[in-house]
Every structure is written in structure tokens, then in C-alpha cells.
Structure 1
């Protein structure tokens, strides 16, 4: 969702989910009344998330509280998903300080299902089995435990596109029409070539892209196998598509196309409004992040076009209920409501997080976004979601991805030789995996 989600979120699993399957009639969004343990039958549900899931922005908490007058929802946020996950692991190990609802980035879901199933509620005990047909098959299956447990319900997925600044493109003499750009950058070579043209006439001190780490992440999100193969074996060191994404990122750094900004840093946040870069790899959840950082002054300056090189997926998330949660049944009811097709459609309209519920996909197909110059975001991201590969998920996807993007940051920000940076990535992964 990141997102590090959002912020990401980020892969972030990079988890790719093909959103195929028949479209279903919207499931009912009402829930039963909650049990209480407070004065006057009042219940406070705590929700702990990373990045921007869009629930506040879409008014969903207020709507749920109106439907359930005895419920108050309190949300806490951590912007950086890596920080969030580290804190969550500490609290899971100690059994205290956990929220009733915890967000899980898709790059972590294999860790939950394969290594931590005993720390989360099996939602089947509350009736989650009946919800399976709401979701794309791959989204549902990824959150299933070894014995068929339902350990989380899916929120969004991250079909990919490119977001770009039309005003900066125009100043640099480049076309601004999204259809023409899609043809010009139908391949990643075309995208980098257009970047070199931009650099030659770039307005101010703006760069072509925010960071080479984001370029790597969006490219690897187009692959079915990235860090593990279908048998569960680690393949990242020898995987040709991964090395191709690394090489393209190194090339972008060498050619001076990057603004050299660490994603999710304060400087990166400020750069959205400052116009420090002209393009950014843009999974659907990035739309809400751009709006939040660029603000009203950015409205109409941004646009969205299809991704070079075909469809992919970067990010997405789940909602889970820890075993140590105080209000497990009530938490499940909230999670069920938040992930229902109606609510997923509302979040996409307000924030851009693309639905994982199949019925919601049809509902948002015609959505356009005035902030992004009227871009047909429902079609762009819907087409990408349908064509995205169903990726192999591994326990340490997110950790490996982080080590690689850290190494690329050393290339672009410190001038480290790519071969040396690659060796650092290998060492980092080895240390992470133990």
C-alpha cells in the first residue's frame, strides 16, 4: 500500500497479483454489533498501519463509527514500512503493545504464513471462509497458512504505471500526451533515452527520476520470479531479469538521470512539491502519496501513463488480527468491512489504492482523477492489474529488496563502483538471512 508502503509500501512485496476471475456482485458491507468490555458498551479498536492505507482519507472510519455507535477507531501510523515491521516483530515476540488490527505489507505475508502463523488469529473461526470469492485467487492464497488458516484479508494491490509532471515535460520540449508517451517509452530503453533528452533541457535543477532504487523496484515488479523460484530456492544472485533491472538502474545513475533521493526520506517528500524530478514509477498507491506531498499546488501538473516494458505489480497489503489483540471478534468485523468491495472502491476513488476485491475492480473501471489531469486511472491500473504476473513470494522478499536498493543508493549518492555495490548487496543479504 508503499509503500514501504507508501508508502509504501514498498515491496514491498513487490507482490504481483493477477486480478483475473469472474466479477462478483458486491458483498454486503454491514456487520453485526460488537461485544463490549468498556463502560456503556463502548469499544475502542486500535489499528496500526504503515504508509497510507487511505481509510481516514476516504472517510471510512467515520462511516463505520456511525454504523456502529459503540465503536471508536484509533489509528497509528509509521511512514517507513521497514521501521513498522521491525517494531511489529518486537511486539509480537513480547506479546504486548499490539493493536487489534495490524497491517501487513505483501512482501512480508510469506513470513507471516510460514513463520508466524501462531501469532495471528485464524480468521476462519469468525467465518472468513465465506469471503474467499471476494478476492482474486492469488491474493487470497498468499495469506493462507500451511494448514489452510486464513491469517489476513487483502486490502489493495499495486499495478504499475508511470506518473509524470506535464509542466516540466513541456518546459523541456517533450510531449505531454499520455498516449504518445506510452509509445515513446514502450520499452525501458526508450524511457531512459527520453530521460537523456529531458536532461539536456531540464528546467531548473530537476532530474528525470526520483531515485534509481525506485526504477529497480518498478522493473523487478514486472517479473514472476525475482528472489525465489517456485520451489522456494533463492535465485536472486543469478536471476537474469533482476540483473537487468540492476544494470538499467546503474545506467540511469551513470547518465545523471536521478535526483538521488532516498525514498520516504524528508527530502524526497519535499521534492514532490518542489518539482525536483519529472517522473516517478507509480504503483496505484503512489497516487495518494503524491497528492499528500505535492498538495493543491500540484493539481493538474501530474499525469499518469502506462508503464514501459509491460505490466507489473509493486506493493499491496493485508489486514491481520494478532492473537494478543484485545478485541479479536470486533477487529475481524472491522477488517471484513474495510476489505469489502464497496470500501475498496471508495479507497481507490479517494486515494488511488487499487482494489484486490474482484467486484470492486469492475466498479472502478471508469474512474478518472482530476488531480492527475483527468487520467483514466481505472483503466490504466485495471489493465495493468489484469496483465500483471502472479509472482512467487518468499519469506525474505522485502529484506532482499531493501539490500539491493541500499546498494543502488551507494552507487548514485556515493559514487561507489557498481561491482563493489553488488558485493555489498550480497553481504547485506547474507547477514539478513543469517
Structure 2
């Protein structure tokens, strides 16, 4: 998933308190790097907003490790970050000491680039490998056992909604009552028809057909690739069925016809009320806060996905390029950044759901006053526990982009679902083989 994650504006306010709190938390012990051979500058290159700088984690780490200086760079759009990273890998220059890898890219890295990345078993990060939920680290592990990245977050799913807009349309606003009226995705669309009949013409039921599709397919174990690694995107009936459901929402006028993360109107919609519901992974709650601002507090709430089924959308890894000259120090840093204590604090502040077992246990009781006191710890823990262990493929990122564009063509250009699907299939075959 191309996860832009949270905006800096939503996180900056908590940076100072986080530095004080986290200076004593988790990871490797304090060390004086200057006494071990001189100061070290660690370059960290990520995409979107992981929250580390905004919450003061880099500053806290530097305070614990005299002689270490962290130089940080982030590209907001992962679709731009990843091609640039591939160019630097091919040229053999320009790589940082720590690079982020989005979950939809990790299978490609494991299959095609293992020699370009550091096996963390041979670094101080080795002790951190076993602390994750069962499927997180295996996804970053090669067939011969090399571990190429430490997990940051995961993206268990819920349904975020505007309570004021649902109330105006005469729909239930209590999370439990709302969930009861959405036992299936078809029921979710039927509820959208009721909303459309009473809501202002400027407000749609959902933000984007692509978002609906992503949420539905996040609940599948086998999606674009089968368990043997074969591309089955064009022949998997479960995918076509969900594509048709999302296209149905578009044709019925239930979506705001916006491209997620790319259309300025989508960002504005969190505060303007141009859509009432959005399928949201845990990290989205921080994004909503940043875009809706203080005026959105108390207007938003969260319930489970239709049917109460779990799903996962997102999650990344921190990896060390083989070209890094500071592998030991970089490994110590990523082990600290992904420690349970740091993961728990990131979730409490910005919604990055932990990928470590201990971190998940620490956030189980978390609530969020911005979302009407929603028990976000329980909602996303339940979703994580119910989510399938998905088969990841080398071109998942490419496929997601093509499907999103296909559904957008249904929404905005009136392309038929059959034609849109066939275009996506052809484009995927041209790019993914």
C-alpha cells in the first residue's frame, strides 16, 4: 500500500512530550559512539510521515547516543520515493543508511534484491527479529533465512465516519448500532443509498471506489498471487467480485469521485464533509486529525468494517542498504525505533498500530477523544487478530495503482466496469508479466 501516513501538522504538537517520555524507552542501551571511533552521521530516508521526527524520536535517540547524528529526509508520495530508490540502487550511490520499504514492495525486495540489503541477523538488530506478530518478519525473510527489514507498523482496518452527517441523514451514529446495519458490503452500499436519499447533494456516502476495493480485498488471504507465487490477479474471482462491488458504488453515485492521497479535494473532504465514510487503517486516524483539524474533533467516530471482518492495509519496514558504511549503528537505531515502547507511543499519538506482540498488548486499552472516545486499541486489535495472513506478491503495488485508476475511470469518465477491469488487467500484464 502506498501509505502517505500522517501529516507533520498533526504530529508536531506532541513532539516535546514524546522526547521526554521516550528517552528512557526500549531498544539498545546507551553508547558513546565518539569513543568507539568518532562521530557518525546516520542518514535516514523514508516516505510519507512515519512519525519519528515529528514525535522527537530522532532527537531522543541522539541524546541517548552521544556521537550519533541523524540526518532525515522524507518523500511524501511513496509512488515517487520507490522509483527514485530503485535508481539509486542501480547506480550504486546515493543510498541512506536506513531506508523505508512499504509492505507492497517487500516481496519484490526479498525475491529480486536480497544482495542489495543487509541481513539483519548479522547485526545488533538480530535480537529484535522475534518480537513481531507471526506474519510480519517472514514477509521480509528470504528462502535461505536472511531478514532484510524490521517491521514498523501494520494497518488493521476499521470504518471511520462523520457522526454529524449520518445524524442529519437519519442513520445511526452509535458504532455498535451502525455496525449492526452493515453485516456485509452489499448492506454497506444499501445503507449508502439511504444516506444519499437524505443527505445534501454535496456529500457522498464514501470517498472513493478505490478505497472500498482496497478495504474489501484487505480481508482476503489470497489476492493477486497464489501461495506458489503465481500471478492470479486476472483469474481470481474474488478480486473481480470486489471490483464489481466497488464499481457498483461508483455507478450509483455513492462515492465522491476522488483519488485518494492525490486529489486535493480528498484531503479537504475530511473537514468539508464531502464524504461521510471512509475505510480506514489505523494510521489513517492521524491523517484525519491533520486534515480535519481541531474543528473535526468529536465529528468523527470509528466502527468495524462490514461484517466485523478484519483486514490489513499498510505497514512498512526499516532496512539497511548493503552499501551503508554504518551498518552496526544503523541496526541499533532501527531496533530502537521499532521497539514495543516506541510503537505503543506512536499508536497513542498518531495511530500507527504496533507490529510487535508486546506493543499490541500495551495499546489494547487505548481510546481517542478526537473520535468521540472510540476504543481504538480494541477496534484495531480485534481487526488485526481477525485479519488473514495475506499472500504478498512482487507487483502488489503496481496492481493496486492500476485498479485504483480503473475504478477512478468508472467514477469520473463513465467507463463501464468491464472495460475498466480489462484495462487494468492489460496494464498489469504489461508491467508485472
Matched, 1:64 2:86: no
**Structure 1 stretches of at least 4 aligned residues deviating more than 3 Å after TM superposition:** 34-38
With 255-264 and 230-239 compared, the bigger mean Cα shift is at 230-239
Q: 2:11 aligns to what?
A: none
Which one of 296, 299, 305 corresponds to residue 297 of structure 2?
A: 299
Give the distance between the partners of 1:343 and 1:89, measured in 2 at CA. 29
- On the 8 A contact 2:300/2:370 being kept in 1, the answer is yes
Please show how residues 131-146 of structure 1 align to structure 2 within 5 Å: 131-146=128-143
Which one of 158, 161, 175 corresponds to residue 161 of structure 1?
A: 158
Q: 1:93-114 CA distances to partner (integer Å, 9 max, x unpaired)?
A: 1121211111111111111111
Computed over aligned residues only, the root mean square deviation of the Cα atoms, in angstroms, reads: 2.0
- On the 8 A contact 1:139/1:356 being kept in 2, the answer is yes
TM-score, normalised relative to structure 1? 0.91
Give the distance between the partners of 1:370 and 1:61, measured in 2 at CA. 27
Give the distance between the partners of 1:264 and 1:372, measured in 2 at CA. 21
With 44-53 and 155-164 compared, the bigger mean Cα shift is at 44-53
Q: 1:387-409 CA distances to partner (integer Å, 9 max, x unpaired)?
A: 11001111111111211111111
- On the 8 A contact 1:79/1:264 being kept in 2, the answer is no
- On the 8 A contact 1:6/1:285 being kept in 2, the answer is no
Q: In the TM superposition, what is the alpha-carbon distance from 1:37 to its structure 2 partner?
A: 11
- On the 8 A contact 2:119/2:146 being kept in 1, the answer is yes
Give the distance between the partners of 1:91 and 1:317, measured in 2 at CA. 20
Query: What 5-or-longer segments of structure 1 have no aligned partner?
Result: 9-26
Q: 2:4 aligns to what?
A: 6
Q: In the TM superposition, what is the alpha-carbon distance from 1:78 to its structure 2 partner?
A: 1.8
Number of matched pairs: 415
Q: 2:286 aligns to what?
A: 288
TM-score, normalised relative to structure 2? 0.92
Q: 2:426 aligns to what?
A: 427
Q: In the TM superposition, what is the alpha-carbon distance from 1:60 to its structure 2 partner?
A: 1.6
Q: 1:184 aligns to what?
A: 181
Q: 1:125 aligns to what?
A: 122
Q: In the TM superposition, what is the alpha-carbon distance from 1:250 to its structure 2 partner?
A: 0.7
Give the distance between the partners of 2:176 and 2:55, measured in 1 at CA. 30
Q: 1:114 aligns to what?
A: 111
Matched, 1:308 2:306: yes
Matched, 1:45 2:68: no
Give the distance between the partners of 1:388 and 1:99, measured in 2 at CA. 33
Give the distance between the partners of 1:413 and 1:88, measured in 2 at CA. 32
Matched, 1:93 2:87: no
Structure of higher RCO (CA pairs closer than 8 Å, 6+ residues apart): 1
- On the 8 A contact 2:28/2:335 being kept in 1, the answer is no
Match of 1:279, SS state, is strand
When residues 118 and 300 of structure 1 are mapped into structure 2, their CA distance, relative to the original with a 3 A threshold, is same
Q: 1:21 aligns to what?
A: none
Q: In the TM superposition, what is the alpha-carbon distance from 1:137 to its structure 2 partner?
A: 2.0
Q: 1:116-156 CA distances to partner (integer Å, 9 max, x unpaired)?
A: 01111111111433223211121111111232111000011
Query: What 5-or-longer segments of structure 2 have no aligned partner?
Result: 7-24
When residues 332 and 192 of structure 1 are mapped into structure 2, their CA distance, relative to the original with a 3 A threshold, is same
Q: 2:146 aligns to what?
A: 149
